Chain A
């Protein structure tokens, strides 16, 4: 008689009916006590009410077609969408001449393609693409946008505006702040006293003042140090100001990452005979940067939104150009500003949320061991 030894698993039974599904979740997670139940209903009601108010305002009471403010200003009217429609091109291009807007489009397009090439892992030629994006693209964008050379009409930065200015400011600051931040972080941890001192002074000074102040100083104090009559471009001053500001923050974020790397890694790198730059580039930085991805993206996101502060120095970024439209007598109405701000919130959210999602994707992709 041979014993029966089961070689394959018996089929798994599904859990009892009362332990899974919506009913179970509701009973055990939401309505598990009287207070919990009341709170759940109250919160649900609040959420529903908020959502309904917004939907009602935006869609049911919203004004969809109107030549000017009259209909938007009617009693009980909701969102004034025609204002957005009439202004949308201005929001994207600012005062960039209509005939030249293809140049902005081209810059957007090249940037988007190159960035997609960098960001999507499956696409090859990463090194060439990175070289193009970080070295060649800024030059191309500069000439395309400003013009004045190669037969392109000159479009002064005073005519730039809206999303264009927001992107120029934030992309430049992001692209500049990453390498500069790494250098500053390494500088601050350096054993060379002067390098370390200078990096520390820069970081602490720039980080110790509000961005608004940096912008004001760039706009108003900087010309005082220049020869009389020479006034550097307003946008350029703002770009420099935000880039330096972002670099100081980036430096501290990366320094945080460097400190998270165990000393053994540094010693290991030295033990196999790597030079300082090689050990940083091959051993330390890849680990340190991976640790601080959430912080870096956090910095990028807040930087993107902080660019709206440039309105105080008279630049028309996205926020500025939307706000100035509220005063157009053709559109000024009770709902114009509400609608404008609502649309702005959606635009900013879309940008920031995509950055956030991409960072999460990268975190998952790079997740090799450290996740606890």
Chain B
């Protein structure tokens, strides 16, 4: 009877029963893996490969958290979530972190009981044009007809941008993205506009991808990043600093290939990143263990870089095949927006 009861409970309440209020890190450590909300299929960000392994920029970020927490990047389980259920899943505790190209907006940050921990990818609306149009910048699009999807912010951003730049344009709008794409490919409009990462993903499905180019301008702000529940500062810090460590590692030239050699580096910033034990000039031990403050082991950042890679490596691995340029996602030192506070 007891067996039957436990069976019923196990089958009914599955394995997602999590006390939502407890410290997430303790929960995660008890169950032995991180439950990560991921995208059910977005080119470059979260998609299963032929063997069914999840690949992409967003899922690799979850692997990086697992590497930091467990020293094992495979201790993560993915819950593919659609746009409607993603925040509910996080609120209800079914997942520990949501890494699913979610745009950081004020209302999401303040009213849902959730907090965005970092901006891992600066996306925004961009333009695609056929090469034969001979346009090199969005500023030259005066008088163009633009294919967009109706009912999205895309249309509104477009109006703002063209008005601000005192340019004329004509909207050719469709209900579904497939229709928009088809219309653009059939030449019913000059320009195709949607989120820039989407433009790069869609061009893969063109028969003649070489005949089209994505213009450099981004005309709207779509900061994408991981989300956690509000009120758990420790877990929030972990997620934020996983991103921070990946950026710092790239900035310092620490990669998954050279991270072991880098442990011998004399650069104090690298020593702090990798928690290398060194002596202060006065002979005392330098406190380089920054994992302590997060409730993690000293090797937290080493494990991230070793098992997943630094920010640039993850970007190249997942997004370079889509020919997405670093653009706004370059390091601050190279003219981009990716900036992390120093580890010290």
Contact = CB atoms under 8 A, between A and B. Distances in A.
B143 interface: no
Instruction: Label chain A's interface by main secondary structure.
Output: loop
B208 interface: yes
A314 B84 CA distance: 10
A232 interface: yes
Nearest to A139: B7
B50 A90 contact: yes
Contacts of B237: none
Nearest to B19: A229
B49 A328 contact: yes
B322 interface: yes
Contacts of B342: none
Interface string A82-102: 000011001000110010000
A75 B14 contact: no
A181 interface: no
Contact of A75 (B84, B93, B208): B208
Contacts of A330: 49-50
A151 interface: no
B88 A232 contact: no
Contacts of A156: 14-15, 77
Interface stretch (A119-127, A242-250, A331-339): A331-339
B12 interface: yes
Nearest to A85: B50
Given A156-B14, A220-B88, A333-B204, A90 B52 contact: yes
B321 interface: yes
Nearest to B55: A328
A187 interface: no
A146 B13 CA distance: 13
Contact of A329 (B51, B84, B93, B322): B322
Contacts of B14: 156-157, 231-234, 236
Given A236-B11, A330-B50, A220 B85 contact: yes
B94 A325 contact: no
A154 B77 CA distance: 13
Given A220-B85, A314-B40, A146 B11 contact: yes
Interface residues of A, number: 48
B79 A324 contact: no
Given A316-B80, A320-B40, A334 B207 contact: yes
Contact of B41 (A95, A148, A220, A327): A327
B48 interface: yes
Interface string B74-92: 0001111110110010001
7 contacts: A73-B207, A156-B14, A158-B77, A223-B88, A314-B40, A327-B41, A336-B205
Interface of B: 7, 10-20, 40-44, 47-52, 55, 77-82, 84-85, 88, 92-94, 201, 204-209, 321-322
Interface of A: 69, 73-75, 77, 86-87, 90, 94-95, 98, 142, 146, 148-149, 154, 156-158, 219-220, 223, 228-234, 236, 312-314, 316, 320, 323-330, 332-334, 336-337
